[in-house]
Amino acid sequence: MIEARDLTKRYGDRCAVDGLTFTVRPGRVTGFLGPNGAGKSTTLRLVLGLDAPTSGTVTVMGRPYAELPAPLRTVGSLLDARGVHGGRTAHQHLTGLAASNRLPRSRVGDVLDRTGLTEVAHHRVKGFSLGMSQRLGIAAALLGDPQVLILDEPVNGLDTEGIRWIRTLLKSLAAQGRTVFLSSHLMSEMELTADHLVVIGRGRLLADTTVRDFIETNSRAHTLVRSPEPERLRELLQAKGATVRPESRGGWRVDGLDAPVIGDLARDHGLAVHELTPVHSSLEEVYTALSEDSAEYRTPPEAIR
Ligand SMILES: Nc1ncnc2c1ncn2[C@@H]1O[C@H](COP(=O)(O)OP(=O)(O)OP(=O)(O)O)[C@@H](O)[C@H]1O
């Protein structure tokens, strides 16, 4: 369990995390979503005691990270997969970590197996692909057999097979009753991996809900309609207050009136309709719309020439 209460972090006059309150519960995968610069990494650093909050609190299994008696046995994390000394082998890296955290040496073999790295255990890390480095980072996170796992963008740069592997692993760890919290700016991946979402923008909480509820609450339906008399249809729809835009594959995209109303309107005016399709936005579209207003880094208009 991770609990943040009014968590705030300021760097000078910039507020990276702004009064965040959320709870990450065990037994499910919770996705931490937000556009670039939203404050995800800063929040994770606060959870892991790598930075101190300006105000507010955050605890892991009921205690601030700094007060955990054996941190690696409680919480495993992957923040930067490339942060390992390249001259060491995977085995040496994990053995060193086990020794300095008083973890049994036998765990090294276990986590190498679990992450599929046994064959390359004695290879130097500097020769590792990004995917292998991510696996090593996850092996290190699992070393203390922790109840809580925190992963910052774990699928970045992975191929399809690597992404599938992480997805399966995280789901199985959650199914064992662990707390799994992973950040990403990739909505499509979260849709497949997470059960629950914490969504932030500009350091503030935008949503804390199940994936299904997030879609249902924020999804904006529209209707695709096609008629052999498109201009007449457009005028009728606009007169009823609908927003009508041309659809890239032909016809109109109509917001503000649903399909039965559009169909009845056309019939009442003797207009033929050749297509009438209700369209629900995908999770990706929902997220993009929600985070658009809060995106930290967008190309300023003057840069588009
Ligand atoms: N050490 C720091 N000093 C000053 N500003 C910082 C520092 N760390 C982060 N920030 C600022 O805080 C804001 C949040 O950054 P953060 O890295 O937490 O976002 P993020 O959601 O993880 O983004 P990304 O997906 O790009 O990693 C940004 O505006 C960033 O520039």
Residues in the chain: 305
Residue nearest to atom 18 of ligand 1 (CA): 39
Class of domain 2-217: alpha beta
- pLDDT value at residue 293: 58
Both ends of the chain: CA-CA distance in Å? 48
CA distance 300 to 26: 41
| Of the candidate ranges 144-148, 213-217, 241-245, 295-299, the one whose mean pLDDT is the lowest | 295-299
> Residue 303 — very low, low, confident or very high, per pLDDT cuts 50/70/90?
very low
Position 298 scores a pLDDT of: 45
Identify the pLDDT of residue 156. 77
Lining residues, ligand 1, CB within 6 Å: 11, 14, 16, 34, 36-42, 185, 296
Ligand 1 atom with the smallest distance to the CA of 45 is 18
- Using pLDDT thresholds of 50, 70 and 90, give the confidence band for residue 250: confident
Nearest-CA residue for ligand 1 atom 12 is 16
Give, using CA atoms, the residue closest to atom 8 of ligand 1. Answer: 42
Residue 242 has pLDDT above 80, yes or no: yes
Say if residue 124's pLDDT is above 60. yes
The CATH 3.40.50.300 portion of the chain extends over: 2-217
Q: Is the pLDDT higher at 154 or at 187?
A: 154
Q: Per residue in 51-109, pLDDT tens?
A: 999 999 999 999 999 999 989 999 999 987 677 777 899 999 999 999 999 999 999 99
> Two tokens at 46?
């606060």
Quick one: tokens of 120? 């390359």
Contacts of 300 (CB under 8 A, 6+ apart): none
Summarised one tens digit per residue, pLDDT across range 99-116 is 999 999 999 999 999 999
Fold exhibited by the domain 221-280: Alpha-Beta Plaits (3.30.70)
Residue 215 has a pLDDT of 75
| Percentage, residues of the chain above pLDDT 70 | 92
Quick one: pLDDT band at residue 305, thresholds 50, 70, 90?
very low
Q: What is the pLDDT of residues 30-54, one digit of tens each?
A: 999 988 888 999 999 999 999 999 9
Kindly tell me if the per-residue pLDDT of 300 is higher than 50. no
Q: Is the pLDDT of residue 302 over 70?
A: no
Ligand 1 pocket test, candidate residues 8, 9, 10, 11, most atoms within 8 A of CB: 11
**Contact 226/249 with Cβ under 8 angstroms?**
no
- The tokens of 214 are what? 């997030």
**Residue range 272-291: mean pLDDT, rounded:** 79
More confident residue, 284 or 23: 23
Sheet holding 222-226, edge to edge: 243-246, 252-255, 222-226, 275-279
CA–centroid distance, 3 to ligand 1, in Å, is 21
Give the residue, by CA position, lying nearest to ligand 1 atom 10.
16
Q: What is the pLDDT of residues 164-223, one digit of tens each?
A: 999 999 999 999 999 999 998 777 778 889 999 999 988 999 899 998 888 777 777 789
Atom of ligand 1 nearest to the CA of 34: 21
State in Å: Cα 152 to ligand 1 middle: 13
**Atom 26 in ligand 1: which residue has the minimum CA distance?**
36
Q: Higher model confidence: residue 299 or residue 16? A: 16
Q: How many beta carbons lie within 10 A of that of residue 273, not counting itself?
A: 18
Q: How many C-beta atoms surround the C-beta of residue 263 within 10 A? A: 14
At 134 the three-state DSSP class reads: helix
Structure confidence at residue 297 (pLDDT): 42
Where in the chain are all domains bearing CATH 3.30.70.870? 221-280
pTM of the model: 0.80
* Closest to 145 in 3D by CA, of 59, 96, 75: 75
Nearest CA to ligand 1 atom 16: 39
Residue nearest to atom 14 of ligand 1 (CA): 39
Ligand 1 atom closest to residue 44's alpha carbon, by position in its atom list: 18
